[in-house]
């Protein structure tokens, strides 16, 4: 049974598999495209449309169209209602996954079951869990979720196997997000060293600048006309702006006609103008890249051997130019829109082989017609990722004067037992804390996850993701020792262990993340399966 790799993007998605010759191939969708817009149109009860056609419906029926749902993954407080039915981000994503699976199934002639789905490196445990759920709701068997930059590096490395230690920087600028990751490659061992990014910086910001420019040009040519209240005009303008931006990656100038109220304006934009109008956006990606490279340097990475450009936006020539000019980084573009899905397909093959009884190097060698030793290299390949965000516990500040008199009201802050970028599997080992008052009956153990961005011990910069109570023995004096340890396995599952050493009382927490329990997942799966999904 073929295993598939899926790049579930916020703008575009892509599915790939490894063919009989051992090469990753992208499965085209129903209209022959390699990528499918991640847009879902709830056309009528019981039938949804996914992809380009769904995106075109956004104007006619915006209230029935879900776009950029990836940004909401892992949020439990949102649901979207279409035809009177509430849909979670997981369920909406499941429709996209089903459409991709259908296309791939048509192309390979066998149903899609085993998949690896990629996620951004900065996704927290909750978002990863939501992604797995989306896969299960779509009726798929999710072998694993894999970091997008690792997938890109895998697909890149599969074409250039080489010895020694090498460091690769993945620069991924997509439709709505930017992230950059330094990856260490050594033979079969692939691990992320550090990662950084901005969740609110991507192609859409460039499009917005182009829209503004074109509107200004229109008003200059047709003074007295204000088309901004016209939905149809603004919709066409938005679509047109993205086209102009994309065309300017190959052309030096592009012209569009804008028609409104009987008037027509001819707007020309040059590549130089586009670059000038968006320079600050690009520089922001370079600031983050510079910081990430600096962080890698602190982790003893002396040279970046290779820079891989991923994401549709890296087709803009200026990205490479500025990486070279400002950071001295020589980048190569490696199938910016397909690399992630292809890498995931390679990883899926390896994962599948390692899980199936009797599956192993020989079976892979047979299937791919490669030598047993080549296959052994593939199945041995291990991928190490990092803790995407810091995890810790909330404690009372013993330096706060209130701590002595009224510890319940003292300032609290978060201590990260596992800082962001700790390689997986990660284990903090036992860290000692103290009780606050005499005869404390129990200790409240709260698990806090750092919010996106930089690490901070302020409670407001972290989110409580789980809590439990550790029973304490009678007559325990204040400031008695309590031990807490945090561990995250390769799949991102967090286990927390707390212990009172005198009594041996223990508390174990397995992070239960995401709002849907198993029953809800299976109900959603049934509901999704009943829908007619088309593109």
Q: Which stretch binds ligand ADP (CB under 6 A): 158-166, 170-178, 188-196, 378-386?
A: 170-178
* Least distance (Å) between residue 312 CB and ligand ADP: 2
Cβ-based nearer residue to Mg ion, 124 or 202? 202
- Cα torsion for 427, 430, 432, 433, to the nearest 10°? 60
The angle that helices 518-530 and 89-108 make with each other, rounded to 10 degrees, is: 50
* Binding flag, residue 55, ligand ADP (CB under 6 A): no
Binding piece for ligand ADP, criterion CB under 6 A, among 149-157, 191-199, 306-314, 369-377: 306-314
176 binds ligand ADP (CB under 6 A): yes
Task: Find, among 182, 447, 436, the residue nearest to 290 by Cα.
Answer: 182
Indicate which single residue of 51, 89, 135, 203 sits in contact with ligand ADP (rule: CB under 6 A): 203
Q: In whole angstroms, give the CA distance from residue 4 to residue 24.
A: 10
Residue 53, exposed/middle/buried by CB under 10 A (0-12, 13-18, 19+)? Answer: middle
Residue 492, contacted partner among ligand ADP, Mg ion, none, CB below 5-8 A by kind:
none
* 5 near Mg ion, rule: CB under 5 A: no
Query: Which candidate, 137, 128, 139, 9, places its Cα nearest to that of 74?
Result: 128
Collapsing DSSP states into helix, strand and coil, what is residue 109? coil
Q: How far is the CB of 120 from ligand ADP (least distance, A)?
A: 9
Based on CB atoms, which residue is closest to Mg ion, 12 or 450? Answer: 12
Cβ at position 199, least distance to ligand ADP in Å: 11
Per CB under 5 A, which of residues 261..300 are in contact with Mg ion?
none
Of the pair 247, 427, the CB lying nearest ligand ADP is at 247
Q: Is residue 316 a contact residue for ligand ADP (CB under 6 A)?
A: yes
430-441 as b/e: b if 16+ CB within 10 A: eeebebbeeebe
**CA 2, CA 111: separation in Å to the nearest integer?**
9
Q: Nearest distance from residue 140's CB to ligand ADP, in Å? A: 19
211 binds ligand ADP (CB under 6 A): no
Interface with ligand ADP, residue 10, by CB under 6 A:
yes
How far is it, in rounded angstroms, from Cα 526 to Cα 223?
56
Binders of ligand ADP among 231-270, rule CB under 6 A?
242, 245-246, 249
Total residues in contact with ligand ADP, by rule CB under 6 A:
18
Closer by beta carbon to Mg ion, 118 or else 158: 118
Question: Of residues 3, 5, 8, 9, which one binds Mg ion by CB under 5 A?
Answer: 9
Q: Which does 203 bind (CB under 5 to 8 A by kind): ligand ADP, Mg ion, none?
A: ligand ADP
Considering only residues 150-189, where is the footprint of Mg ion by CB under 5 A? 174
The contacts of residue 312 (CB under 8 Å, 6+ apart) are: 11, 12, 173, 174, 175, 203, 246, 336, 337
Question: In sequence order, what E strands does 378-436 have?
Answer: 382-384, 391-396, 412-418, 426-427, 431-434
Is 514 a residue that touches ligand ADP (CB under 6 A)? no
Pick what 392 binds: ligand ADP, Mg ion, none; C-beta below 5 to 8 Å, kind-dependent. Answer: none
Q: Which of 85, 144, 88 is nearest to 343 (CA)?
A: 144
Q: Which of 28, 71, 315, 367 binds ligand ADP (CB under 6 A)?
A: 315
Among positions 313, 447, 472, 509, the unique one binding ligand ADP when judged by CB under 6 A: 313
CA 506, 510, 515, 518 dihedral sign is negative
The number of C-alpha atoms within 13 Å of 478 and in the hemisphere containing its C-beta is: 10
Q: Which residues bind ligand ADP (CB under 6 A)?
A: 9-12, 174-176, 203, 242, 245-246, 249, 311-313, 315-316, 337
């Amino acid at each position: 049974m073929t295993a598939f790799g899926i790049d579930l993007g916020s703008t575009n998605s892509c599915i790939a598999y490894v063919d009989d010759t051992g090469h990753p191939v992208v499965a085209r969708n129903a209209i022959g495209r390699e990528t499918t817009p991640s847009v879902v149109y709830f056309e009528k009860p019981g039938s949804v449309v996914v992809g380009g056609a769904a995106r075109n419906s956004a104007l006619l029926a915006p209230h029935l169209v879900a776009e950029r749902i990836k940004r909401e993954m892992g949020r439990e407080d949102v649901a979207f209602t279409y035809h009177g039915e509430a849909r979670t981000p997981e369920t909406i994503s499941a429709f996209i996954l089903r459409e991709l699976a259908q296309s791939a199934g048509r192309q390979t002639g066998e149903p899609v079951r085993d998949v690896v789905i990629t996620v951004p490196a900065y996704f927290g445990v909750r978002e990863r869990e939501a992604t797995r759920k989306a896969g299960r709701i779509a009726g798929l068997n999710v072998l694993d979720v894999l970091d997008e930059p690792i997938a890109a590096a895998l697909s890149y490395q599969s074409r250039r196997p080489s010895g020694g230690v090498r460091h690769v920087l993945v620069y991924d600028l997509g439709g709505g997000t930017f992230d950059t990751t330094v990856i260490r490659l050594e033979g079969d061992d692939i691990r992320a060293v550090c990662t950084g990014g901005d969740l609110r910086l991507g192609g859409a910001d460039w499009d917005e600048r182009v829209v503004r420019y074109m509107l200004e040009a229109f008003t200059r040519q047709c003074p007295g006309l204000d088309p901004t209240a016209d939905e149809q005009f603004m919709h066409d303008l938005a679509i047109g702006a993205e086209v102009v931006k994309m065309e300017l990656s190959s052309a030096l100038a592009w012209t569009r006609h804008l028609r409104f109220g009987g008037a027509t304006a001819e707007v020309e934009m040059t590549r130089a103008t586009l670059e000038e109008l968006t320079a600050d956006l690009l520089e922001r990606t370079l600031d983050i890249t510079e910081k990430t490279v600096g962080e890698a340097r602190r982790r003893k990475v002396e040279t970046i051997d290779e820079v891989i450009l991923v994401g549709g936006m890296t087709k803009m020539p200026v990205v490479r130019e500025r990486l070279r000019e400002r950071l001295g980084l020589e980048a190569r573009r490696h199938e910016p829109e397909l690399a992630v899905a292809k890498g995931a397909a390679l990883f899926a093959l390896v994962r599948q082989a390692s899980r199936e009884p009797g599956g192993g190097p020989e079976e892979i060698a047979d299937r791919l017609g490669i030598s047993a030793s080549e296959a052994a290299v593939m199945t041995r390949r291990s991928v190490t990722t990092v803790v995407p965000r810091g995890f810790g516990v909330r404690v009372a500040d013993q330096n706060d004067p209130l701590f002595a008199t009224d510890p319940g009201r003292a300032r609290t802050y978060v201590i990260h037992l596992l800082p962001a970028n700790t390689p997986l599997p990660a284990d903090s080992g036992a860290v000692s804390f103290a009780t606050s008052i005499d005869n404390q009956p129990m200790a409240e153990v709260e698990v806090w996850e750092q919010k996106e961005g930089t690490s901070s011990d302020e409670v407001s910069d972290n989110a409580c993701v789980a809590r439990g109570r550790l029973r304490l023995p009678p007559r325990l004096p204040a400031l008695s020792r309590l031990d807490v340890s945090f561990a995250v396995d390769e799949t991102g599952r967090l286990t927390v262990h707390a212990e009172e050493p005198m009594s041996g009382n223990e508390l174990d927490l397995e992070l239960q993340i995401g709002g849907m329990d198993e029953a809800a997942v299976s109900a959603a799966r049934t509901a999704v399966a009943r829908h007619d999904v088309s593109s």
